[in-house]
Amino acid sequence: MNAILTITAKEIRQAIRNRWVLAATLLLAALALSLTFLGSAPSGSNVGARPLDVVIVSLSSLTIFLVPLIALLISHDAIVGDMERGTMLLLLSYPVARWQALIGKFFGHLAVLAFATCLGYGAAVGALLATGSRMDQEGLTAFAAMIGSSVLLGAVFVAIGYWVSALVRDRGTAAGVSIGLWLLLVLVYDMALLGLLVLDKGQNISGAALNALLLLNPTDVYRLFNLTGFANVSAFSGMAGLAGNATLSAEFLVAVLAMWTLVPLAFASLSFSRREL
C-alpha cells in the first residue's frame, strides 16, 4: 500500500509540474461558467426549468465529449511513455510490483481528473449562488450525482487509456488508438445505434435489447444515469419519456460504470505483467 501511495503522490506532483491540473481545471471551469450564463435564457417560470437543471443538462452533455478526451490524453502514454523514457525500468528496480506501479499511476491520474472536475464544475454552482439563484435539495443532489458520475466516467477512460498504453509499442500509436476509441465510443457508436433503430422501426429491437446495447457504451450509461435519473432534469433534457420507461436503476448504472473501469484496468495489468521491458 505504501508503494501505491508513493507512486500516486509522484504522479500528482508530476501533473502539477506539467500544469495538467491547472489546464484541466481552468478548461472545465471556463466551459462550466460559459454554459451557466449562456444557458440561463431558457430557465424560468415560463418553461418550468430551474437554472441548476439547465446547468446539469448542459454539463452532462459537455462531460460526454470532454472528460473522456482529457482522461485519454493524460493516460494513453502512462506505461509506454515511461518505458520509452526509461523511467519505468528505474521505477521497477525498486521493490515495487508491476501491478502496484499501474494502480499507483491510475490513482494519481484519477485524482488529478477528479480535482479538476469537482473544482471546475463547482464553479458553476458558485456562479449561480452569486447571481441569487435558488436551489433546492433535489437539484443539489442531482448536481452532486452528476459530478460523481463524471469522475467515474473519467476513471473508465483512464483505465481504457492504460490498457492501450500497455498493449502498444510507442506513444504515437497509443495516441492514435486512443483518439480512435474516443471517436468510436463518443460519436460513432451512438450514430450507428440511432441508424439501426431507424432502420428497425421498432420491429425487432426490444426494450431489453436496447438497454443491453446502451450498456455496451460507457458514455451511454453515463447519459442514462444523469438525464433520466432525476425527474426535473429528465423533463428538461427531453428524455422524460425514456425516464418513465427506464428499467435500469441508478445503482445498477453506477455498478456498470464501475465494471467498465475495473475490466480494462485488469486487462491493462495483465498485459503489463506479460510485457518485456
Is-contact 123 34, C-beta < 8 A? no
Amino acid (one-letter) located at 228? T
Distance from the Cα of residue 130 to its chain's centroid: 28
Helix (H) or strand (E) holding 84: helix 80-85
**By C-alpha distance, which of 59, 103, 41 is closest to 78?**
103
Please give the model's pTM, rounded to 2 decimal places. Answer: 0.89
Cβ atoms 62, 149 nearer than 8 A: no
Note down pLDDT in tens along the chain; length 277 residues.
788 999 999 999 988 888 878 888 888 888 888 877 775 544 444 445 677 777 888 888 889 999 999 999 999 999 999 998 888 888 888 888 999 999 999 999 999 999 999 999 988 888 888 877 777 788 788 889 999 999 999 999 999 999 999 999 899 999 999 999 999 999 999 899 889 888 887 788 887 888 888 899 999 999 888 876 554 555 444 444 454 455 678 899 999 999 999 999 999 999 999 887 6
3-state class (DSSP) for residue 44:
strand
